[in-house]
Structure 1
Amino acid sequence: MNQPNFITNQNSLFMKSVILSLLVLICFLNAFSQQDQYKATQAEIDRMHQELKADTMLAKFISWHGDAESMYHAYKKNLHLADSIWKADQASLSVMDIGETEKLEIIPLIDWFTASDSLQGENGLAYLIKTDDTTILFDLGLNPKTKHPSPLLHNMEKLGVSINEIDMMVISHNHPDHVGGPKWSMENTFSLSNYQMELQNMPVYVPKPMTYPGLHPQYIPKPTKIAKGVATIGIIHKPIFLNDIAEQALAVNVKGKGIVLISGCGHQSIEKIVQRTDLLFEEPLYGMLGGFHFPMEEKRNITWIYKYFVVDKMPWERLSDQDVQYNIELLKNKGVKCIGFSGHDSCDRSLKLFELAFGKGFRKMTVGQSIVLK
């Protein structure tokens, strides 16, 4: 009597199993199809080989890091992933109220240009940021000769800056010229000199999970208020051909002026930094200071390797005057009044173009030369 029902139930289970299997197969095929979709095209691969054949130095440089075709496919996949993260983050974020500061002072402690011969310039960046209530050390330079005292500590002593007056530290991104040298970068840590001195429970905000003896650096990927009138704008990923760069910038709300952004290298691109700022703050964007990575020409400290790490460009493509002008117009249309550019990652020609565009509003970031906004 129960056999028909049993057969019906068995058929139902069989059909459910078939449907489930089909769904799994569809998901697999869809994922496989998407994987192919984000691979480099044959035309892109062909062009890459053509460019590498013409630039043997670039070809050798890439070969040190792996197989060029595999790297290109990984790069395209990382681009898609970074874009997905960017869209999801932008959709989930809302306006922040971080308060304001009456005064903002930025003292370059490490950069390429110096105000006097008694100060040491280098191919890195470190700024002291002072507000009404807080003193922040932003990045730690490069210390290329791994010496003690490092150029950072040397300049701090010359400028009368004590470690004891620093309330917190912020690392923009984990590149050697911002964390104190390649040794520390490879170990996902940072240092003010050629050894890691005791920092007495200092708060440190980092762009990726990092360590430091005796401290618990705080990895905060989303925009976060860290002091009155001061916030990080959150991690923004920027894949380049060789790897992915995760970078954060600081935003300071200066009373009566608006938001001043402080950047380490601007690998995120000025365009995305501005879009993120528009989303987070009701106050206008008043200024942008720091490194923004415009290495158009190989002069001064801008060596051949810089052209392979260009924002929004493939390693065999070059920045042009038009690229710089695009960013200038973007900032001018936003009504930005104050622009301060670092020479550690931008060439003299780029600096000159920004200076011509912004006139008295342009500042060349110079060690020992304080910038005060109030």
Structure 2
Amino acid sequence: MASALKTVDKFTVTFLVDNCIEWMTKLPPGFTHELRVHLGEHNPPIDPLTGIPFVDFENYCCGAHGFSALIETQVGGSDPQYTLFDTGPESRSIARNVAAMQIPTHKIGRIILSHWHSDHSGGILSFLRIRSQSEHAGSTPPCVVDVHPSRPIARGIAPQGNVIARHPPDPTPEQMREAGAVVELHKEGHAVADGTVWVSGEIPRVTEFEGGLPSSVRWLEKEDSKGEWVKEEHLMDERYAAVNVAGKGLILFSACSHAGIVNVVKDAVATFARPIYMIIGGLHLAGTEFVPRIEPTVDFLANRLRPAPTYVLPMHCSGFAVKIALEKALGEGCVPAGVGHKVEVDGDWEAEKAMFPPSIE
């Protein structure tokens, strides 16, 4: 099945929802700040007094606790494939940011949901409504929503075993269909977007120090209909996405890394025998309970994985401490990405011919 993943000539990602907004930091080649996108591509309003474009804050992106990334992949001279990886936490941030970045929603053929947590699923229905209202909606096929079949009734937050809150309910498949989507349920790994994006199956838990999410609980119904909260450290519905760029290697999307980013990388290397070029998304190493995992995670990425990833973009739930540690270990290879950023990677077929499989020491 993994052989179905095509090698792409061009990859672009636009971050539509993230916790952080970062305008000032120097970015590597191929990375573009939101402000430059607006001023250079979006026909900004012009100040009649000075003749200079306005910084139009009213119509720029907002931050939110969640994640969403628009993936564009292209092979040869074919049309780009547009895939949305997660949709953020609620209806407003995805709507505002799609409008701000002038996203052609009718071209997005598939939403991949990384896992059933509302900070990733909460914008699905809003996005589907926006897409259905596009002037091109009537001439394009319905959007596919690609989800794991194990949708929880409810998930909660229980530090030290005390349930203090629950996540808002994820949209149901019925609600998605009512909003015009085609819902696909997948437990196994599979290629989508004309074979240019891989959606993983269950991520093997093989790394000793990556123990899941200790504070996670799931509501289970019982025969007496009363139900109860049960511990659920390992969120087995979590999936990652991968794109293989010619001459560069794999670009991995791990929205929250509840499975552990080391487990994600190990599975990708075992599945594709390709170097890891870029790691994108939440590493879920924020908070005191995850501090012991930071050092071995950074050591793996910087020293044990060979070749080391060219770029790591710790976003969403990664936490400040691991960003500092990754910057110390990887230098400019740790990129402070945020909402509104755009990243473009061009393939290199000459380098592709000379590429060797990665190894883990």
- 2:144 counterpart (203, 208, 225): 203
Query: Matched residue of 1:353: which SS?
Result: helix
Q: What's the counterpart of residue 142 of structure 1?
A: 89
Is 2:131 the partner of 1:160? no
CA distance in 2, matches of 1:155, 1:242: 31
Q: Higher strand proportion, which one?
A: 2
Query: Matched residue of 1:367: which SS?
Result: coil
Q: What's the counterpart of residue 217 of structure 1?
A: 183
Q: What's the counterpart of residue 174 of structure 1?
A: 116
Which one has a bigger Cα radius of gyration?
Answer: 1
Identity %: 23
Query: Matched residue of 2:252: which SS?
Result: strand
Is 2:96 the partner of 1:96? no
CA distance in 2, matches of 1:260, 1:194: 26
For the 8 Å contact 2:285–2:293, the answer to whether it is kept is no
| Structure-1-length-normalised TM-score | 0.61
- 1:119 counterpart (61, 67, 79): 61
For the 8 Å contact 2:314–2:335, the answer to whether it is kept is yes
Which one scores higher on RCO, CA 8 angstroms, separation ≥ 6? 2
For the 8 Å contact 2:114–2:238, the answer to whether it is kept is yes
Q: What's the counterpart of residue 106 of structure 1?
A: 13
| Structure-2-length-normalised TM-score | 0.63
Aligned length: 246
Q: CA deviation at 1:295?
A: 0.8
- Counterpart AA for 1:352: I
Q: CA deviation at 1:250?
A: 0.3
CA distance in 1, matches of 2:115, 2:62: 22
Q: Higher helix proportion, which one?
A: 1
Q: What's the counterpart of residue 274 of structure 1?
A: 265
Identify if the C-alpha distance between structure 1 residues 122 and 279 changes in structure 2 by more than 3 Å, giving closer, same or farther.
same
Q: What's the counterpart of residue 286 of structure 1?
A: 277
Q: What's the counterpart of residue 319 of structure 1?
A: 290
Gaps of 5+ in 2: 24-34, 36-56, 75-79, 151-171, 205-211, 219-231, 347-361
For the 8 Å contact 1:96–1:280, the answer to whether it is kept is no
Query: Matched residue of 1:152: which SS?
Result: helix
Q: What's the counterpart of residue 302 of structure 1?
A: none
CA distance in 2, matches of 1:97, 1:130: 18
Is 2:129 the partner of 1:192? no
Query: Matched residue of 2:335: which SS?
Result: strand
- Counterpart AA for 2:148: P
CA distance in 2, matches of 1:288, 1:319: 19
Q: CA deviation at 1:327?
A: 0.7
Is 2:354 the partner of 1:363? no
For the 8 Å contact 2:203–2:267, the answer to whether it is kept is no
- Counterpart AA for 2:105: I
Q: What's the counterpart of residue 349 of structure 1?
A: 321
Q: What's the counterpart of residue 338 of structure 1?
A: 311
CA distance in 2, matches of 1:338, 1:197: 32
Is 2:202 the partner of 1:235? yes
For the 8 Å contact 1:111–1:367, the answer to whether it is kept is yes
Query: Matched residue of 2:341: which SS?
Result: coil
CA distance in 2, matches of 1:217, 1:364: 34
- 1:131 counterpart (73, 77, 86): 73
Q: CA deviation at 1:95?
A: 5.2
Identify if the C-alpha distance between structure 1 residues 280 and 113 changes in structure 2 by more than 3 Å, giving closer, same or farther.
same
CA distance in 2, matches of 1:161, 1:100: 25
Gaps of 5+ in 1: 1-93, 182-189, 298-317
Identify if the C-alpha distance between structure 1 residues 169 and 194 changes in structure 2 by more than 3 Å, giving closer, same or farther.
closer
Q: CA deviation at 1:197?
A: 6.7
- Counterpart AA for 1:142: P
